[in-house]
Each structure stands twice: as structure tokens, then as C-alpha cells.
Structure 1
Amino acid sequence: MRRDNVDVTIIGAGPAGSVAAALLRQAGHSVLVLERQHFPRFSIGESLLPQSMAYLEEAGMLQAVVEAGFQYKNGAHFVWRDQVSSFDFRDKHSPGWGTTYQVERATFDALLIRCAADQGAEVRFGHTVLAMQPGPAPVLEVADEQAARYEVASRFVLDASGFGRVLPRLLELEAPTGLPPRAAIFSHVRDGLALDAFDRDKICIATHPERRDVWFWMIPLAGGRSSVGCVAQAAFFDGPEAEREARLRALIRAEPTLHRLIGDAPFVMPVRQISGYAANVARLHGAGYALLGNAGEFLDPVFSSGVTIALRSAHLAAAVLKRELGGAKVDWHAEYDAPLRRGIDTFRAFVERWYTGELQDIIYYPRQTPAIRRMISAVLAGYAWDESNPYVADPVRRLNVLHEMCVT
């Protein structure tokens, strides 16, 4: 069987794989990216967070993203019944970017991997990883689209396969998430929004009028489109697949703000549903490999944290790996796993309290302290690793105390 040799093999050409590939190429390492699909391809996760911009800039991709014509984003607009609360991410506790973009992922992801290829990464689309031999010199077995098999020997493997979760499946790394199984039903609409009808520079997150554990998103995109969807525990969407479009339409009509903004605007792509997307692993690294982004852990889409966590993981892993490939002794747990999980745990504290309603009580509280509001805004903007923020350094206790203050 043919065997190719490379410094680093990356499984998956999504944002995490692309940024990791670019950062490693900047350090002079040979990089091979194996992607099962062909780009462009649809993906959910269209609303970026400002923290992401620093990683795109370091990976040499910022100019391409800025010039692509994506919808500008500067914050989030929350609505429940007659209550509203808007956060401007430029007004936040943490330093750094306060703006970003809302993107059609097919275009965005294709753009990023092209930037990585332009920096010298080799990308093979339509190639599927079948098996892995972990170890100091890991070997992957791969099949191309003609079912021809070959091997790739690397000094290290990064799994950026997203929801495909290649190495967690092959190496039996899956672990319980601790989160209830939820599902999302979604599509795109031609929204036709008047300029004064809604601030297109913000994502809209609306809570169901009768169910605080059910929420909607509306993400304005460039060209007069919006992504719209609903998230709930999976049983909430039970019913025949043939009725999926009618189900989403009825849900939009049930939420007053979305009904006003979208109403009966036509869906411009088939209504889709994904279930059981929350994921976790026993460890984020092992002999000769590390897991990036959704291949390791995915929480929930409510705060659009997925791409930010993916890019943070790529940035952290690339830094550790460059040192290891340079001959240094590294500690993947202390330098990658533990630091990455600290930010994920911050997001987890916010996600869990969103679904219990506690964070919603905080967000809609009418007498918010400006300093605390900026701290909350920073986390919502993706700065979940800035431990100068008390709601990052000690998120569970701080949120619990804050909620107690808001309801007494």
C-alpha cells in the first residue's frame, strides 16, 4: 500500500482545520488536510463571535474575510414576549475585537481552506480516513473517491472533522456530555426586511412565549437572506419528516417578533433538522494526536460559540505542536486540554443557565449595572478565556450570585 509522509495531517477542512493548517505552514511544517466532502458545502453555525477575528488575523485570513462581503455583526438582540435586551459587543470588559461577521458557511469555509492552501497546505477533497494507528508516529489509512486505499504517516495528527468526529469514533473516545439531547430545525428565508425594521448588525435570539427552554435564532446574512431556526429538546419536534416545513413555519408564527419580521417569507432552501449534536470526549489528546473544535466537544448553538471554540482550539494546538515539532518537551494536558476546557466551561455555565431561565432573568433585568453588563457582553462576544473577567474566572458562583440579586 502506498504511504505518504508529512509533518502534520489534519482531518477536516472546516475553520479549525484551516486555521491550524495556516499557522503550522507559517512555521515551515508540511501539512496535509484530508476532507471527506467537497467544498463549498452547507454547514450550520453562521454567526461568528468577535474573539474569532484575532485568530483569523494571525492565520493570515483576515483580509480575505473582510473583503468577502459578509454581513457585519456587532452584537446580539434578545427578546422574550414584550421584553428586549440588546448587547453591543464593542462595549465589553475584555480588550480586542468587538465586531465580526455573520456568514454563509459554505462560502466562509471554502474561503478559509483556500487561504490555507495559498500558504502551502496540501488539501485533498473527497478523501476519507478509515483507521488510525496512534503512537509517536501515527499512521492513517485513507480511501479516495475511487475507493483506492493508501496510508499517511505523520509526526502528528489533528482531528478537525467537526460533527464527523473521526478519531473519537475510531479510537472510542466518546464521553457523556451532561447536557440533555436537543435538536434544531432551520432554514434560510428571503427576509425582505426594511432598513428600519431590525438591526441587521445583530443576531436575534428569541425565547418561545410559553416555553423558556425553547428558543429561536434569526441571523441576517448578506444579500437579503436570513438564517432562521428553533432549538428545543428533541421530543419537541416529533412528527413526520414531510411536515418539517409546516412545523418550522408554525413555530415562526408563534413567536411575535419573528412573525413580524419574517412572517410567511419563503424558505429558500429545504428545512433541515439536526439532533443530538452535543458531544464530549474523555480526553482531547493522546499519543500522536489532538482533537480540535467540535471533534472534541460541542455544547449548544445558543451563544454561537462553536466556531470560536474551534478557532481557539486550533490556535492553542498549533502553538503546542510547533514547540513539540521543534524538539521541545510539551505537556498537552497542561498546555492544551486544560486551558481550552476553561473557556468551554465558561460557556457551559452560561448555556446551562440559559435553559433553566436564570441567565434570561439576568439578561432581561431592567436595572443592569454597566460594569457587570460589560462583563456579560465580553463572554457573549467570545472572550471566555479572559480571566480578568470575574464571570470567566468563577462563572458558576458569579452567575448564581448575580441571578439571586436579580430576582430578590
Structure 2
Amino acid sequence: MEKFDVVIIGAGPSGSVSASLLKKQGLNVCVLEKQHFPRFVIGESLLPYCMDILAEAELVEAVNAEKTFQFKNGAAFTWGNRYTYFDFTDKFTPGPGTTYQVRRGIFDKILIDETAKKGVTVRFGHEVLALDNQGEQAILAVKTEQGETYQVAARFVLDASGYGRVLPRLMDLETPSHLPARIAHFTHIDDNITDPDFDRNKILITTHPVHRDVWLWLIPFADNRCSIGVVGLPETLAGESEVVLKQFALEAPMLKRILANANWENEFPYRNIQGYSANVKALHGRHFALLGNAAEFLDPVFSSGVTIALHSARLASGLVVRQLNGETVDWQAEFVKPLMVGVNAFRTYVMGWYDTSFQDVIYARNPQPEIRQMISSILAGYAWDETNPFIAKSEARLSALAELCGTATQD
């Protein structure tokens, strides 16, 4: 039986980052990935805090070198005739203020290829079937795409399987999300945008003019392509993805204007994903921990998925090194509690977006610059900075601020 210090399930961003960080500390690491790369996945707009973690994992130079990635320095919001934006370089928390909007197939492959170059064992087409964590080490049952099965032993296992949620399924850890089961319809278009009001350096988030709990993303890439999607409750967005997406996009004044010359018909299909929010009973157990979306996924509205995944990879990797070096690690106090600081902050603003209290803050007239900097930090991914009042007491602060802003009304 092969033996590794750490086996990582999944070769997405959290898998690559954790593998690179662990290899950097001299550990023998194996990544098992069921699919082959490149493969399509959503989550295409990164947040600046990701760049800090990618730099620590020595992966950032390869990302910077990719020419198809679109430079990103902020987030823009539109509702009816209103338009506002946040500049991520003008924020409360120190750290990178820019990042990229990426095709995840390319981005994820760059990260795992660079990780493999460091000497990490990476196996594509290998599916984890079971985990036995009762002994002194974890034993994983694995099946290749040719149907062959084998076992591998690890001193520790990290589940970075994302939406695959391998260990939560195998170990009965799944539990319903507290968030409603929303649906997203999306595709890629040739945008042909020439309108000077559109800033390609920012993701554009659009609140639907009538249904304020329905929003759309427009994520520009560097080659006249955009990812576009609409998110809402299934009963509101019932129907074929193409019909629903076009209808709601063209009902929004700014989108209708800037997409006047867009080509919606290319080789990219219309897709949808429903009930994507997820949660688990526990983030760790004997010989294992869950990273990113394998543990919990909130909502795509603030592009927090990859950021939470990378932060969990950074946290867990440091703890794994300590534990394998013989230290006693309190995973609840040192992993779960600090990780949930940011997750809960993001959750506050996701909930506030859908109940419109955070939308009222976003679209408020003449906001205070200091408050905008604090909000900008959160939108830039710095949701673990507890010196930011809007993180330390996120619910109370948002409630008070939303009341001050009053109910936003369209022009």
C-alpha cells in the first residue's frame, strides 16, 4: 500500500494551494482528482485577498503570466438607473487590491500544473470511494477510470472536492443549508461592448428592476467574452435557461444598453445549477478536515467561494504540518472558529443582499468614505480582518447602517 503524509481529494484551487503549502514544508503529498483538467466550473471572478494566499503558495507568478485573464480592481453595482462601484485599492484592510476575472478551467489547470511541478503527486481520473479513519492512519479506497481499485494510506486527508463533497457524502456529514435553494442560469457570450459606461476591470452586479431578490452577474474576460448569469428563487426563474437569462438580463436598463451588440449564440451552452448552497455537521474529524465548498457554500453574489476555499486551505495546511510534527492541535479552536469568522461575515452580507438591507447600503446616496472603505475590504475578500467593525459585529453594524441609509428608491 502506498503511503503519503497527506492525501488531498480534489485538484481545484484549495487542493492546489494546500498541496503547494504542504510540499513547501517538506511533506509527501498526493492529490486525487476524479475529473481531467481543464474542466468547466463557475466561480470566475476572484477577490484580491486570493492573491495574497496564492503568493504564499508560490503560485501567483503563473497566474499573473496568463494573458487571457482580465485585470480586476473592483465591483460595480447597478439597479434601475443607479450605478455605483467599489475600488478595491481604496479599502480598510492592507493587502492586494487587484486580482483577475478568469476562466476557471484555465485557472484551475495552471494552479495544479504548477503544484505538480513542485513534486506533488497528482492523479487525474482517480475517484475516492471510501475512507477508513479508525486506525493510526487514514486508508482511502480509490478507483481509476479504467475500473481498477487500490488503497492508499495517509497520515491526514484534506477534502478539497468542492461541489463533489466527497467526504461529506461518504461520512454522512451533509446537512441542509440555512439559505433558500436558489437557481442560477448562465452562459458565456461574445459581449461586443463598446459603451464607455462599462468598466471591464470590474465585475458588474445588477439588481433586477422589479424583483430585488433577483440579480445578475456580468464577468468580463480579456477576449471580448463575458460570463453572464441570473440568480433567484426557482419559482421566479422557472423555464429554459436561455429564455430566462435573456429575459431578465434585457429587463435591466444598463445590461440592455451595454449588451445591445452582444452575440448570445456561440459554442458555449446555457447551463443552470440549483440548490447549490450547502453545509455540514462538522468541518473536521479523525485524520481529516474539509476545505472550501466541500464544507460549506453560501452564494455566488460576492464571489466568496474561491476566497473561502483558499483561506481554509491556508489555515488547514499550517495545522496539518504542526500535527504531523507531533504537536497537539485543537481543530475546533484553531480551524473552525477562525474560519467561521469570515464565513459568517460573508453570510451576513449575503443575507443582507437578499433581504435588501445591504442593497440599501450599496445604493445609498453620498455614503461616508470611511464606511465605503470598510465595505470595500469585505467585498475584496478581507472578511477575516476583525479590526474592521463591519466584520467584528457584522449583523449589528449592517442593521444600523441600513437603517441610516433608509429604503433605497429608484430614480
TM class, shorter-length: over 0.9
Aligned to 2:291: 292
Q: State the distance in 2 between where 1:56 and 1:48 align.
A: 11
State which drifts further: 27-36 or 252-261.
Answer: 252-261
Q: Secondary structure at the match of 2:223?
A: helix
Which of 47, 57, 73 aligns to 2:45? It is 47
What's the offset of the Cα at 1:327? 1.1
Q: Can you list the C-alpha shifts for 1:168-191, whole angstroms capped at 9, x where unaligned?
A: 000000122210000100000001
Q: Which amino acid aligns with 1:56?
A: L
Aligned to 1:272: 271
Q: State the distance in 1 between where 2:27 and 2:161 align.
A: 20
Q: State the distance in 2 between where 1:33 and 1:236 align.
A: 40
Q: State the distance in 2 between where 1:100 and 1:213 align.
A: 28
Q: State the distance in 1 between where 2:233 and 2:282 align.
A: 27
Aligned to 1:232: 232
Q: Can you list the C-alpha shifts for 1:174-224, whole angstroms capped at 9, x where unaligned?
A: 122210000100000001112724110000000011000000000001111
Which runs of structure 2 are paired with 1:7-406 in the superposition (5 Å)? Answer: 7-69=5-67, 70-135=69-134, 136-194=136-194, 196-239=196-239, 243-263=240-260, 264-268=262-266, 269-406=268-405
What's the offset of the Cα at 1:382? 0.3
Contact 1:278–1:300 under 8 Å retained in 2: yes
Contact 1:187–1:267 under 8 Å retained in 2: no
Q: Can you list the C-alpha shifts for 1:45-90, whole angstroms capped at 9, x where unaligned?
A: 0000000001000111111000112100000000000111110000
Q: Secondary structure at the match of 1:158?
A: strand
Q: Secondary structure at the match of 2:365?
A: coil
Q: Secondary structure at the match of 2:300?
A: coil
Contact 2:155–2:287 under 8 Å retained in 1: yes
Aligned-residue identity in percent: 53
Contact 1:127–1:145 under 8 Å retained in 2: yes
Q: Which amino acid aligns with 1:232?
A: G
Structure 2 gaps, min length 5: none
Q: State the distance in 2 between where 1:352 and 1:165 align.
A: 23
Contact 2:81–2:253 under 8 Å retained in 1: no
Q: State the distance in 2 between where 1:102 and 1:132 align.
A: 36
Q: Secondary structure at the match of 1:227?
A: strand
What's the offset of the Cα at 1:262? 1.7
**Structure-2 change in CA distance of 1:310 and 1:225 (3 Å):** same
Contact 1:83–1:364 under 8 Å retained in 2: yes
Q: Which amino acid aligns with 1:371?
A: E
Q: Secondary structure at the match of 1:198?
A: coil
What's the offset of the Cα at 1:367? 2.2
Q: Can you list the C-alpha shifts for 1:23-54, whole angstroms capped at 9, x where unaligned?
A: 00000101110000000000100000000001
Q: Secondary structure at the match of 1:260?
A: helix
Structure 1 gaps, min length 5: none
What's the offset of the Cα at 1:245? 1.6
Q: State the distance in 2 between where 1:160 and 1:4 align.
A: 20
User: How many residues matched?
Assistant: 403
What's the offset of the Cα at 1:314? 0.3
Q: State the distance in 1 between where 2:102 and 2:281 align.
A: 32
Q: Secondary structure at the match of 1:278?
A: coil
What's the offset of the Cα at 1:313? 0.4
Q: Can you list the C-alpha shifts for 1:340-376, whole angstroms capped at 9, x where unaligned?
A: 0110000000000000010010011102111111000
What's the offset of the Cα at 1:266? 2.1
Q: Secondary structure at the match of 1:72?
A: strand
Q: Secondary structure at the match of 1:140?
A: strand
Q: State the distance in 2 between where 1:218 and 1:148 align.
A: 43
The two structures have a TM-score, normalised by structure 2, of 0.96
Q: Which amino acid aligns with 1:6?
A: F
Which consecutive aligned stretches of 4+ in structure 1 deviate over 6 angstroms post-superposition?
Answer: none
Alignment RMSD (CA, Å): 1.1
Q: State the distance in 2 between where 1:348 and 1:185 align.
A: 22
What's the offset of the Cα at 1:244? 2.5
Q: Secondary structure at the match of 1:236?
A: coil
State which drifts further: 17-26 or 127-136.
Answer: 127-136
Q: Which amino acid aligns with 1:203?
A: I
Q: Secondary structure at the match of 1:163?
A: helix
Q: Secondary structure at the match of 1:237?
A: coil
